[in-house]
Amino acid sequence: MKISELAKRTGVSTHALRHYERLGLLEPVRHANGYRDYTEAMRREVVFIAMSRKIGFSLAAIAQRLPAYRAGRLRNADMVEALEVRVAEIDKELAALAALRAQVISHMEWLQKPPLKNTAASATSNPSRKRSKK
């Protein structure tokens, strides 16, 4: 199949498919006219890459697992382990975002507080101001 058909069938842009090819993740057959020919197996590889990217795996991490996926040696236990690591990474990111959120709220609250008025300091700092005696 041509790149446009692969893009349509996988929901991955032709730009991304060419990028994956440049990185060596995909190796379509090249015809004399320069057209790429993708097999049905490559469609499954693109879906694997796209799903992995969607949950936050880097292209480098995907490239490490892709040969085992192609060969049918990628065990479910291996993927579960990788997904557990990814969940731990997400938990760290969430904790960092929660801390940042708390800090932003603290700054908002500080900015919304009315300034403290120090009447004794303002009276002594402005000598032209006279106190009334009663």
- Written as one letter, the residue type at 104 is V
Reported as half-sphere exposure (CB side, CA atoms, 13 A), residue 72 has a value of: 1
Tell me the pLDDT tens digit for each residue of 61-92. 999 999 999 999 999 999 999 999 999 999 99
The reported pTM is 0.71
- Reported in sequence order, the residue ranges of 11-54 that DSSP labels E, i.e. its strands, are 29-30, 36-37
pLDDT higher than 90, residue 118: no
Tell me the pLDDT tens digit for each residue of 3-57. 999 999 999 999 999 999 999 999 999 899 988 899 999 999 999 999 999 999 9
User: Beta partners for 36?
Assistant: 30
DSSP state of 47: H
